[in-house]
Amino acid sequence: MDLQELSRLLRQSLADWSVAPGEKTALPAWIERHVRDERTRALAQHAAFEAARTAIAEPAAGRVVEWLESVMQALASSGSSPVAGASGSHEIEHDSACFSPGESCLNRVIHRFDECRRAAELCVFTITDDRISRAILDAHRRGVKLRILSDHAKSGDLGSDMREFIQAGIAVKLADVFTRTGPRHEGHMHHKFAIFDGERLINGSYNWTRGAANVNFENLVDTANPDLVSVFAEEFTRLWNRF
């Protein structure tokens, strides 16, 4: 993988603190030639973060974050040429899998919230990654009907965003499996899945935390398989009604 060429493209892009239209084409073209798996994609994303860290010392450092967000969108695209929708985002409609460490799982979760138009049901152990939380709150402000089911014990952890979701008016239920009536169930609500517009499912070991993106070996599957979407929707409804 030619990281020197990528570094040159990144330095050239950082020169004016923005990702120009030609650079938005050049970055996916580089991906097409060099990225063959999630490991190589993660190396490319790491190179972008290193370029950003170097640039932070510059007087115009405040614009680095905007630049980095644009680069991440390009590097999170599929191996084929991107298709830009009306909003400029890349369509990701095929069934696929993502892996961490790296930003691919994170970007896929955010993409699904960005694309969601009507409703989303989240059944997630914990949410502490503010980048995902911002995408959730943005969807809520757009009028997307959200329901979040999470683990009661984790909701009080440092960094948990459940209180912010509740204050924003999002429907949240915290599953306290230790205090339910009936047989005692010694465990947690440990799912990590979400359903979008009743049509797409993301599911896997990937926790919605920065540690999952930066450190852990995790996986995330994104699918429109109607059979899978249906059975996970049924499980969400069952758990939502229980708690």
> Is-catalytic flag, 192?
yes
The three-state secondary structure class of 191 is coil
pLDDT band, residue 190 (cuts 50/70/90):
confident
The residue among 105 and 52 whose pLDDT is bigger is 105
> Is-catalytic flag, 16?
no
Beta bridge partners of 172: 148
Q: Which of 151, 161, 192, 222 is catalytic?
A: 192
**70 pLDDT higher than 80:** no
Q: Which of 114, 138, 176, 197 is catalytic?
A: 197
Place of tokens 């398989």: 225
Beta bridge partners of 208: 127
- The CATH homologous superfamily for domain 96-242 is Endonuclease Chain A (3.30.870.10)
pLDDT band, residue 175 (cuts 50/70/90):
confident
Query: What does pTM read for this prediction?
Result: 0.60
How many other C-beta atoms lie within 10 A of the C-beta of residue 145?
A: 13
> Is-catalytic flag, 222?
no
Q: Is the omega angle on the peptide bond into residue 101 within 30 degrees of 0, that is, cis? A: yes
